Amino acid sequence: MIHTKGQPTQPNPEHDHSSHHHGHDHAGHEHSAHGHEGHDHHHGGILHTHAPAGKMKTAFFLTLLIFAVEVAGGVVSGSLALLSDAGHVLTDIAAIGLSWYALRQATKPPTARMTFGYHRTGILAALVNAVSLIVIAIVIAAEAYRRMAHPHPVTGPAMFISAAIGLLINLYMGLGMRGSEDINVKSAVLHMLGDAAASAAVIVGGLVIWWTHWYIIDPVLSVLIAVFIAVGAWRILQQTVSVLMESTPRGIELNDVAEMIERVPGVAGVHDLHIWSLTTGRHALSCHVVLDGNPALDETQSIIHNIEEKLLNQNIGHATIQPEDLHHLHDNNLLCCDAMKPQTR
Over residues 128-153, mean pLDDT: 83
> Is the pLDDT score of 316 beyond 60?
yes
pLDDT given for residue 338 in this prediction: 58
CATH for the stretch 246-345: 3.30.70.1350
| Total number of residues shown for the chain | 345
Query: Which of 289, 294, 287, 285 is closest to 267 using CA atoms?
Result: 289
Where is pLDDT greater, at 90 or 129?
129
pLDDT range class, residue 337, cuts 50, 70, 90: low
Query: Which of 279, 230, 235 is closest to 99 using CA atoms?
Result: 279
Where is pLDDT greater, at 138 or 30?
138
- Looking only at the bridges linking them, the beta strands covering 282-291 and 2-4 are unpaired
CA distances to 7, 34, 51, 148, 163 from 111, in Å = 14, 10, 21, 55, 46
Q: Are 267 and 289 in contact, with CB atoms under 8 Å apart? A: yes
> Is the pLDDT score of 291 beyond 90?
yes
Beta strands, E only, the chain: 2-4, 21-23, 42-43, 46-47, 267-279, 282-291, 316-324
pLDDT given for residue 14 in this prediction: 41
> Is the pLDDT score of 79 beyond 60?
yes
List Cβ neighbours of 287 (8 Å cut-off, separation of 6 or more).
261, 270, 271, 272, 273, 274, 320, 321, 322
Determine the topology of domain 53-244 in CATH: Alpha-lytic protease prodomain-like (1.20.1510)
Over residues 113-142, mean pLDDT: 84
Over residues 204-224, mean pLDDT: 81
Which tens digits make up the pLDDT trace of 4-50?
333 333 444 444 444 444 444 433 333 333 333 333 333 332 223 34
pLDDT given for residue 156 in this prediction: 66
> Is the pLDDT score of 95 beyond 90?
no
Q: Are 269 and 326 in contact, with CB atoms under 8 Å apart? A: no
Which tens digits make up the pLDDT trace of 47-60?
233 446 677 788 88
Where is pLDDT greater, at 18 or 144?
144
> Is the pLDDT score of 252 beyond 50?
yes
The order of strands in the sheet holding 267-279 is 2-4, 21-23, 316-324, 282-291, 267-279
What is the rounded end-to-end Cα distance, in angstroms, of the chain? Answer: 28
Alpha-carbon span 13 to 56, nearest angstrom: 39
What is the three-class DSSP state of 248?
Answer: coil
Average model confidence (pLDDT) for the chain? 76
> Is the pLDDT score of 345 beyond 60?
no
pLDDT given for residue 320 in this prediction: 92
- The total of other beta-carbon atoms located within 10 Å of residue 118's CB is 18
Domain boundaries, the chain: 53-244, 246-345
